[in-house]
Amino acid sequence: MHDLSADSAAGFRGYLESTSTAGRVTGYERTEQLIRSSDLVVFATIAGEPHVSDVSRFGHNPVVLHVSLRDLAPEILLASTNLVDDVEHCLKASTSPHLVEQLTGSRDFLAGTLDDVMAGRVTVPADRPVVFSPFGLGCWTWRWASTSTTRWPGPA
């Protein structure tokens, strides 16, 4: 885990360690360290604009749950497979996907929706980062991520 505020990071770490959740909590001083060492990266911030722009941090092709929607610079999304829950909701209000749409003038950077993946209409490649930007399904996303045993579930 990482937080710009050392006090917030310590408080959250203490909370996690005091719960009955099994597992190790690792704190990182820099965002870069966390991203490069994780296969699953979750952005849950209050960022109003992109603050992560180095595409090389994602060279190991992690799955990124972009819950807060405004952390990633357009170049990261353009180098990734992009999935959303609702296209119209995600591509507005200066979210990272909206910035990509404004930059490119199209929505071609979107591979599809979560429904497309779940129904087998979209195959998620393993050779590039996967960014899922859930505008309205943040709580569901956390639950799915915590119970998923494979990179992507197949059709129901």
Q: Radius of gyration of the chain from Cα atoms?
A: 16
Q: According to CATH, what is the number of the domain 39-147?
A: 3.40.50.720
Question: In this structure, how many other beta carbons lie within 10 angstroms of the beta carbon of residue 98?
Answer: 17
Specify the pLDDT at position 143.
Answer: 53
Count of CA atoms in the C-beta half-sphere (13 A) of 100: 26
Q: What is the pTM of this model?
A: 0.84
SS3 assignment for 49-64: CCCECCHHHHCCCCEE
From residue 155, give the alpha-carbon distance in Å to each of 59, 65, 133, 152.
Answer: 28, 20, 20, 10
What are the mean pLDDT values of the chain's consecutive 10-residue runs (156 residues total)?
90 86 84 95 93 97 95 98 93 96 98 92 94 73 50 47
pLDDT at residue 24 in the model: 83
pLDDT at 155: 44
Contact status, residue 61 vs residue 127, Cβ threshold 8 Å: yes
Q: Is 28 exposed, middle or buried (0-12, 13-18, 19+ CB in 10 A)?
A: middle
**What are the structural domain ranges in the chain?**
1-37, 39-147
Name the pairing type of β-strands 110-113 and 81-84: parallel
pLDDT of residue 154: 45
- Tell me what pLDDT residue 65 has: 94
Instruction: Give start and end residues of each alpha helix (H) in the chain.
Output: 6-18, 31-36, 74-78, 87-90, 96-104, 114-118, 138-147
